[in-house]
Amino acid sequence: MAASPVVSLDTVLIKVASRCNINCSYCYVYNMGDDNWARQSKFISTETIAAVCTALATLAAHQPMPFSVVLHGGEPLLLGPRRLAELLGQLRTVLPEEYPISLQSNGILLSEQLLDCCATHRVSVAVSLDGPAEVHDRFRLTHAGGGTFAQVMAGITQLQAHPAASFLNAGLLAVIDPTSDPAEVYHFFKTVGAPSVDFLYRDGNHSKLPEGKATFNSLEYGQWMAELLAVYAADPAPLPIRVIDDMLKVLLGGSVSKEGLGVTDFGILIIDTDGTLMKNDTLKSTYNGADQFTRPVNIRETDLLTFLASAEFASYRAMQQPTSAKCLACPQLHVCGGGMLLHRWHDANGFDNESIYCADQLHLIGAMRQLLYTYQLV
């Protein structure tokens, strides 16, 4: 009998709801040209949940290292308490606690009942919050165009008040507004009591510049992050910031396994609400259908290990490695890894480009090197 193929995934992201209760202007799912959401099942079905759990149990049995599971949307809490409990209960039946399960939410629907469900099944919750009200409410809007800051903060208050908050609270996810004040945003997050914050650049590419970035060579985001770095470095009890902490770790000789950072081979698979296997969903921001495999494959109808060992999945996974001559010759490649794949896109030549944030990242890396030199760490 032939040996089972060796597979290795870092993250399985499950789309459990294809709709959202708010309408963020920068959302790659709904507002950057992709329309797959409109054809998707609104919620993951009982049959798809069963198929996912069977596949993940098989993956766990064949892969030596645990993988993470992330519940995503849309807004995953639209599932409601009953269906969420069904999903989490079945996932935990096949994945013991050493397999992290988390949920990415806008926070508005958080309730004691939903948090109790997450606590029971050891599922942490990360909340999207971009900053104080004047920053957050510029882009994270209701479908009627109103701000959502007050509702999100009410959800965060519920999360922090829960008896299991020390485990449940996985921190905040913030999309950068380069016109905001980095010091104000940083100190706001400290007052919120967030255990950590993960800052993200806006989605965009060479053919569709990210909002707030004037040209390929402009430094709006890099300067913002360098100012954030200065505030962080001056704080005797700094707020953990994943991108800063991980980049500094690499500069000090360590390694990380994160998508879009360092020279890595990060394995991520997306499972859509109807069970279709997809590429990284952030690719939706490049062109309509960019996250779809050549032939639709559904978790209910295929052997996951066979699919992960296929040439098409290997080709998709290899896409994250930079191919542009500039990146391959760059002495900072081991730090930035060429950036996120979606940021390399150009309508003329696909992904064979440096990141649209190349200049920003080089500026930030320079600021980090100067900081480490000042503290005589390099």
Distance in angstroms (rounded) separating the CA atoms of residues 66 and 73 = 23
- What's the number of domains the chain is made of? 1
pLDDT, tens only, 88-117: 999 999 999 999 999 999 999 999 999 999
Cβ-defined contacts of 346-351 (< 8 Å, 24+): 346/205, 346/206, 346/207, 347/206, 347/207, 347/287, 348/207, 351/319, 351/323
- Residues 6 or more apart from 181 whose CB is under 8 A from it? none
3-state helix, strand, coil in the chain (%, to 5): 40, 15, 45
Q: Is 360 helix (H, G, I), strand (E, B) or coil?
A: helix
> What CATH number does the domain containing 223 carry?
3.20.20.70
**In the predicted model, what is the mean pLDDT of residues 346-369?**
97
CA nearest to 271, candidates 54, 108, 125:
54
What global pTM score does this model have?
0.94
How many Cβ atoms sit within 10 Å of the Cβ of residue 184? 14
**CB of 200 closer than 8 Å to CB of 174:** yes
What percent of the chain has a predicted confidence (pLDDT) above 70?
96
Contact 347, 205 (CB under 8 A): no
Note whether residue 248 is domain-resident: yes
CA distances from 92 to 54, 103, 121, 289, 356 (A): 12, 14, 6, 32, 40
Give yes or no for residue 159 having a pLDDT over 80: yes
Q: What is the mean pLDDT of residues 338-360?
A: 97
Closest CA to 270 of 254, 284, 260: 284
Q: What is the pLDDT of residues 17-67, one digit of tens each?
A: 999 999 999 999 999 989 998 999 999 999 999 999 999 999 999 999 999
At 368, list the tokens: 């980090």
Does 277 reside within a domain? yes
Long-range contacts of 236-243 (CB under 8 A, 24+ apart): 239/186, 239/189, 239/190, 239/194, 239/196, 239/197, 240/171, 240/195, 240/196, 240/197, 241/196, 241/197, 241/198, 241/199, 242/196, 242/197, 242/198, 242/199, 243/198, 243/199
**Structural tokens at position 230:** 């200065």
Three-class secondary structure of residue 101 per DSSP: strand
Strands 268-271, 11-15: parallel, antiparallel or unpaired by DSSP? parallel
Handedness of CA 365, 189, 19, 297 (dihedral sign): positive
* pLDDT per position as a tens digit, 300-334: 999 999 999 999 999 999 998 999 999 999 999 99
> Which residues form the domain of 229?
11-254+267-321
In a 10 Å sphere around its CB, with 0-12 CB exposed, 13-18 middle and 19+ buried, how is residue 38 labelled? exposed
pLDDT at residue 263, rounded to an integer = 67
97: tokens are 């606690």
Quick: pLDDT tens for 217-238: 999 999 999 999 999 999 999 9
Domain for residue 309, yes or no? yes
User: Band of the pLDDT at 255, cuts 50, 70, 90?
Assistant: confident
Residue 151 lies in a domain: yes
The per-residue pLDDT of the chain, averaged, comes to 94
- Is 361 part of a structural domain of the chain? no
Beta strands in 176-278 (DSSP E): 197-200, 268-271, 277-278
Q: How many CB atoms lie within 10 A of CB 143?
A: 9
Query: How far is residue 10's CA from residue 6's CA, in Å, rounded to a whole number?
Result: 14
* 208 is a domain residue: yes
In the numeric block, which tokens belong to residue 149? Answer: 């800051």
Report the distance separating Cα 208 and Cα 274, nearest Å: 30
Residue 354 within any structural domain of the chain: no
Residue 288 in any domain: the answer is yes
Average pLDDT over every residue of 294-299 = 95
